[in-house]
Amino acid sequence: MQSSLVDTSQPVYLVLVHLRKSKPDAPDLSIYATHVRQKKDEWMLLDGFYSTQAEVESAQREIDEARQAILELGPGVQPVRGVAELAKKDDAQLAKPVVTWQTFRLRWRPTSKEFWGVAVRSLNRSGPPKTSPAHLAAPLSQVEWVSGDIFDKAAREEAMSDVDAVISCVGAFGSNSFMSRICGDATIEAVQTAKEKKVERFGFVSSAQVYEGSVGLALPPSAPMHGYFQGKYRAEKELLATIPKHVILRPGFIFGPRQVGTSTIPLQLIGGPLSAVGTQLGPVSSLLQSIPFAGKELASMVPVDRVGEAMIRSLEGVDENGIILDAAAIRQY
């Protein structure tokens, strides 16, 4: 491996991805980790949290009045949209005191997209991408790209030298045996190496279908995608049992501009509207979400930048209890 190009006085995050050699120009999910820590003096409150008790009480009065107005409506009468949205809100809460980073990150959102404080090393089979989309050219130029096979223990050990955290974005589609190996075994071996190298924090991009009672995990071995979901499930189990300071994200379809060769495919034009249908249309969304498998996927689509922010910010503050975020929690970042 080449000598380190990153400033090791900063926290160093290693990102693990899988790229087939036949597609060296494929987009690399390590771009998640180029979205790093925001300036700490540039934060805004998330919806539902307020700076003073007076603001909490004022907001709560509006919510209570909206709820009461709906109760007073006659049968079959629908409230106006603004009232309905107010009534559905959680009770207003005071943003302070913030005791831990975990509570802080759930109450505040950065106002700026300037990032600093984390150096990134990426281990993948292809090394640096041959082309970079314009909107990622600058951050990708700061990544230390390392060519190596995730299944080569020596490559993993060398890549994990002097890193503060490892993020596995490894995943692929194909036969069930292939998906089980790439989506499961690759991360399992990385987790084991991280433990041996005494890396304390490990992040994993899993799947929205990895939860107790999911349709995805109940698929028979012969069904398409069985290997994908079971691989992610096995990787989660290994991580949970091995590294206490873990962060597991469970998104569905991740959308954003995708670079294919010299072209950029605007997947956000598909994922954005579908996500809105699955999560923001009230009773319609609830009905769609009740559809087995498809409903969960429709409700679990997330923008790529939210995945990046959720992973990095969670890794910064994770403790021995670990953090698991579903799509709804990821979208809060």
Asked whether 120 and 142 are in contact (CB, 8 A), the reply is: yes
Domains of the chain: 12-37+117-330 (3.40.50.720), 43-108 (no CATH)
Element (H, E) at 205: strand 201-205
Express each pLDDT in 242-270 by its tens digit.
999 999 999 999 998 887 777 788 888 89
For residue 44, the model assigns a pLDDT of 60
Higher-pLDDT residue of 217, 79? 217
CA distance 57 to 147: 56
- pLDDT band per the 50, 70, 90 thresholds, residue 299: very high
27, 320, 332: which is closest to 169 by C-alpha? 27
Q: Tokens for 294?
A: 């498809």
- Residue 194, pLDDT score: 95
Containing 13, the helix (H) or strand (E) segment is strand 12-16
Give the pLDDT confidence score for residue 249 in this predicted structure: 97
Helix pair angle (81-88, 53-72), 10° resolution: 120
Q: In the predicted model, what is the mean pLDDT of the chain?
A: 80
- Which of 13, 12, 7, 18 is closest to 228 using CA atoms? 18
Lowest mean pLDDT among 22-31, 90-99, 245-254, 300-309: 22-31
- Going by the DSSP 8-state scheme, the letter that residue 36 receives in this structure is -
Residue 167: name the closest of 230, 222, 124 by CA: 124
